[in-house]
Chains A and B, each alone.
Chain A
Amino acid sequence: EAQVTQNPRYLITVTGKKLTVTCSQNMNHEYMSWYRQDPGLGLRQIYYSMNVEVTDKGDVPEGYKVSRKEKRNFPLILESPSPNQTSLYFCASHGTGWNEQFFGPGTRLTVL
């Protein structure tokens, strides 16, 4: 089954404790993205990657890091999480050519 998976789905953590949210897709897609979604602000892009070892900042990259060492994986790293990073996070992927973007199920992060 074609899918994007994220882990964990839910996470409660404390300020400053490094964390990683994993994202994996099994569709051999070149493009992968991370979004955060907050009430009243919609989906905002954090980082995106057009292929292995190629990453670019989106609209709200501050406080986040990503890596793309393999085509299927695109982890999101919060080196020192802060409460303003409490949000719902989505990973997404799509192939070359503009077509349907597949979303992961989301990760709800709370930073205390």
Chain B
Amino acid sequence: GQNIDQPTEMTATEGAIVQINCTYQTSGFNGLFWYQQHAGEAPTFLSYNVLDGLEEKGRFSSFLSRSKGYSYLLLKELQMKDSASYLCAVAGNTPLVFGKGTRLSVIA
């Protein structure tokens, strides 16, 4: 079976750093994606990891450990506009399977 777990909600302060974790169990593995989704809008691509390690892209970084079935998304220097849902998705033997998403609230 396929299972992706991530926290339902998180709250963090403007300017701070937040880490959103994702654990997964899937049939096959072809990479892990993180998407950002604002309410009522389409998901937008943030990152893609297929090898172990950290990928950095501006204020956003994503980490993958394939042996542990674990990833995290790190957001630095949080801004109010980062308030959104963050979706972890895994490409296995079928097209993407999504977690239920983590709703991040950034407060002043």
Distance of A102 Cα from B95 Cα, bound (Å): 13
Contact status of A90 and B43, CB under 8 A, knowing A98-B30, A98-B48, A100-B48: yes
Are A41 and B45 neighbours in the complex by a CB distance under 8 Å? Answer: no
**Tally of chain B residues near chain A (CB < 8 A):** 22
Residues of A in contact, count (CB < 8 Å): 25
A74 at the A/B interface (Cβ < 8 Å)? no
Which of A43, A58, A94 gathers most chain B CB within 10 Å?
A: A43
Nearest CB on A from B55, distance (A): 13
Partner of B95, one of A31, A44, A104: A31
With A98-B30, A98-B31, A101-B33 in contact, do A45 and B45 touch (Cβ < 8 Å)?
no
> Please, which residues of chain A bring their CB within 8 A of the CB of B96?
33, 45, 101
Q: How near does chain B come to A48, taking the closest CB pair, in angstroms?
A: 5
Q: Which chain A residues in 30-55 approach chain B with CB under 8 Å?
A: 31, 33, 35, 40-45, 48
Decide yes or no: A33 and B95 within 8 Å by CB, A98-B48, A103-B43 being known contacts. yes
A56 and B94 form a contact (CB under 8 A): yes
Given known A-B contacts A33-B95, A101-B45, A104-B42, A42 and B31 have beta carbons under 8 A apart: no
A interface with B by C-beta (< 8 Å): 31, 33, 35, 40-45, 48, 56, 58, 88, 90, 94, 98-106, 108
8 A-B pairs in the complex with CB atoms less than 8 angstroms apart = A33-B96, A40-B100, A42-B99, A43-B43, A43-B98, A88-B40, A98-B30, A106-B42
